[in-house]
Structure 1
Amino acid sequence: MTSTTRTIHLGRRERPKRGSLLLVIPGVASVVLLGVLPLFIVARNSFAVADDYGGITGGFTLENYAKLLDPVYSKTLLFSLGLGLLNTVVCIVVGYLTSYYIVSRPEGRQGLLLLLIIIPFWTDFLVRTFAWITILGSGGPIAGLLGVFGVSGFSMIPSNVAVVLGLLYAFLPTAIFPIYASMRSIDPSLKEAATDLGCSWWGVHRRVILPLSRPGILGAALLTFIPTMGVFVIPVLLGGGKDPLVGNLIVTLYTEFRNQPMGAAVSMVLLVLMVLSMGLIGLLMRRTSNQKGA
């Protein structure tokens, strides 16, 4: 093969590589401009010094993070963690039971049931939250039903119970679909074999269905816990803003207090908590896959 022929072949091989690089550039640029760069700016602002009006004056200080140890901020962080864990557990329990019911139905009805779960979420999130104010308020159906039994003036707005119900309604589909996907892949003969061997309803779930659907449960926990930490509307409308979450605190620091460095510091702490939770669930998923491989 002559040198000229080699050059032609090398040129042909390099063209697809250059073309593929050109196709990657828009995606990389979008990630950098919309993801990496804003994150870098927020991280830098979290160490900046605030001026008299809460703006960014530059400099470097750890005072913004030190202030987070103040009970005003630490209480909000701990409350957000607790409420996030509570909502995750409730969504997983309800999502598990719902997914099991759907999987137990005939194949043709499962798609319809999943569609019925999705349809309400085609409505705007804010509209659905205001609907819960009507349902749980003094003029709602619950108060009207209790009025028949002589209970007057009943209202769950504002309360933490209403916040939990609102969070459950908002994030339940994100828990149902991963669990349903895991349950659907389970061979029905395993359940029948466990029943024939004397397992009760609870025994079948504890020994067969629950372990095999663990990847979906962990995925549901990830998709539920992380968004709950940053939710803003539900605690304000259903809880009256009495016990704010981290998302409410960030908005308040940026808008009402106009303290951008503190708002950025809280945002970075929330990001670290999310990354840690993702890492923990990732380790659990890897451990589950290793157990299956063994």
Structure 2
Amino acid sequence: MDLVAYVATAPRRGETVTGHAFRTVPGGKGANQAVAAARSGGAVSMIGAVGEDDFGVRLRASLTEAGVDTGGLRTVEGESGTAHIVVDGEGANSIVVVPGANGTVDGLAHGDERRIAAADALLLQLEIPLTGVLAAAHAAREHGVRVVLTPAPAQPLPPELLAVTDLLVPNEHEAAVLTGKSDPYDAASALLASVPEAVITLGAKGSLYAVRDAEPVHVPAPRVKAEDTTAAGDTFVGALAVARGEGRPVQDALAWASAAAALSVQRAGASASMPHRAETDAFAAGLLEGRTSR
């Protein structure tokens, strides 16, 4: 559950500031990406865990409402995971994640491998233990399922995980942590030593796509006024997975995913801000029409 405080200026270390709004919004990177993919037109199953608290009830209900199959979502003793988020007046955010029930997903449960094997793509994040991430990734590789990894929260990745990752989608900060290179183009080149494809998200500057034996491709993002960027990256990944699963050319898929993310940042909250497919289609078509007319 995202516990979101809205402030004019984020507090510095040791500083207390007064906020102007507070919301509790269903979130979590895995759930966010599941909702984004479902609203983008994908058939989505969620594997994970919630606690026995009220947050767990709300989190499960929000996924079901979005059309996500929650048959793989466990309920465990204790508290659900929480993210404590501060959003400033420019829409930028800082986040503290407390894993809670997420910390129990250290491997696959009965039925999980079957769910993975039936998929076109497996979206992975790092808000569960690495042993759980690795187990899911290996199952996907065994069944020929595309593995898309968002390396957040940022941390060094074991070579074993990178070896079974098809597409890595870090943001600029995460790419720098993984490679030690602050320039996105340099970071993208470095990532290709470990994975065949990478997309570095660049916020308002769009995204950078890199694949082995080709020059990186920059895809700009639509220019919009951001209210809350909390779920932009997860919206992008969920929409991108659907677009690629439908066989769209890479640049078209990236542009469509960017349109979905641009819609999400204009609204408050995480999963609540994510657009439905018809909205993304209409927005993307308007952007294309504008470029064509110019």
TM-score scaled by length of structure 2: 0.20
More contact order relative to length (CA 8 Å, sep ≥ 6) = 1
TM-score scaled by length of structure 1: 0.20
Write 1 or 2 for the structure with the bigger share of strand: 2
